[in-house]
Amino acid sequence: MIATERPLPEAAAPAAAPLEPDVPAGPMSIAILLPLTGRNAELGQSLLDAATLALFDIANDGVVLLPKDTGEDSPATVRAAAEAALAEGARIILGPVFADSVDTVAAIAKPAGVPLIGFSSDRRVAQPGVYLLGHMPEQQVDRVIAYAAHHGIDRVGVLASDDPQGAGLSTVVRDAATARGVLMATPAFIALDAIDLSAAMRAAADFATRPSLVAMQLQSLGDRTDDGALRAREKLAALDAAGAGGYQALVLALSGDRLRAATGLLPYFGLQPPAVRVLGTAAWNQAAMLADPSLRGAWFAAPANDLRERFFARFRDAFGRDAHPIAPIAYDAIALAAALALGGADFSAERLTQPAGFTGVDGVFRFMADGGTERGLAVYEIGDGQAILIDGPPPAFGALTQ
């Protein structure tokens, strides 16, 4: 159980259960490693301002923030920032932003016994003692597929970029689908050097190969005999008997310019509701994507908007400019560390991975023993240029129903 010791105004603070360990004499030093100079300085400053706002809200005079500049995030500048933080007595390190930099800092912080909460969303750099607060698209894909399966979708396709992230997300789709007895078509991949996406879109829309979905999914189950596999086989048998054909939903495991190019082609290949429900991630929760008529009716998983919108409004009032979209993770990281400092500065693995987790601007979250982060996500539908909430996030862990 988490007991709130001092709730933040305008946003929920990560709360901490009462503790009674010895509190170290003097202020508690919390380091935050950010690119404050160089090409990513604007991002770094936005994250630092969010962290400062959180520290103001917590109002804990016993906490000192140690900002350290990672510059262009070369191994040398990142290493120097981490070493300076440790030399100044940091009890916990927040950041850096990028995956390679997280690895560099981990090699220094772990031997020193100092926990690290990185801001990367790359699950591959997580490890015990190195936690990631970035929003992982894998969880968003799993959440939206779970919702889709709960609402009658039993056949999905996937269109992904032909790179490690695309392959990883395709695997997540397969695993999420299999766990829920949902069929998945052979993924369609977009080559990294592709200028014309038509071939990949045509492959994603190829109705001729869709009737083979049942056989493909049965093959993917192999010799598994767990309950999930048994339920999947029963559902596949029913679909086979009914002559199930093409998929009902398409996961777009894409980002950036490639995502925008693909969405523009959806209508030309019949990949739109009501024929096909398009599924995506929190990357769609921005004005340009919400206004795209090709995505009308699409579903995506993301943190709930209510506290985020209040955070962005407060940031704008405080600093006179808009916060970077990932600024809430810096706010939540500082609020979490400061709240734990109030409870006796217990940054142990047991405390950081407490099952009840924490509540922040982006909703409930908890760190896993392997360094990953589980989040409570909402599901939205795109309509009329806005994200319409269709399934709210859980108020606490254990409350997910889909």
164 shares its domain with 295: yes
Residue 213 has pLDDT above 70, yes or no: no
Show the DSSP H helices in 20-98 as ranges.
41-58, 75-87
155 shares its domain with 189: yes
Contacts of 181 (CB under 8 A, 6+ apart): 149, 154, 231, 232, 234, 235, 236
DSSP assignments along 211-222, one per residue: GGHHHHHHHHHT
Residue 21 belongs to some domain of the structure = no
Please give the residue range of the domain that contains residue 128: 28-135+305-371
Distance of alpha carbon 230 from its chain centroid, rounded? Answer: 30
153 shares its domain with 260: yes
Residue 1 belongs to some domain of the structure = no
130 shares its domain with 110: yes
174 shares its domain with 248: yes
Summarised one tens digit per residue, pLDDT across range 314-326 is 999 999 999 999 9
Number of compact structural domains in the chain: 2
Summarised one tens digit per residue, pLDDT across range 96-107 is 999 999 999 999
Per-residue pLDDT band for 41 (boundaries 50, 70, 90) equals very high
357: domain CATH number? 3.40.50.2300
CB neighbour burial string for 44-76, b if at least 16 within 10 angstroms, e if fewer: bbbbbbbbbbbbebbebeebbbbbbbbbebeee
For the residues 110-116, what does the mean pLDDT come to? 96
- Specify the pTM: 0.81
145 shares its domain with 283: yes
- Kindly list the distances between the CA atom of residue 278 and the CA atoms of 158, 253, 270, in Å, as whole numbers in the listed order: 10, 11, 11
289 shares its domain with 313: no
Residue 72 belongs to some domain of the structure = yes
As a whole number of angstroms, the distance between CA 36 and CA 191 comes to 34
Distance of alpha carbon 23 from its chain centroid, rounded? Answer: 33
120 shares its domain with 183: no
296 shares its domain with 312: no
CA angle 278, 283, 288 (to 5 degrees): 85
268 shares its domain with 351: no
246 shares its domain with 273: yes
As a whole number of angstroms, the distance between CA 319 and CA 314 comes to 9
115 shares its domain with 150: no
CB atoms closer than 10 angstroms to residue 385: 12
Residue 2 belongs to some domain of the structure = no
Residue 324 belongs to some domain of the structure = yes
Length reported for the chain: 402
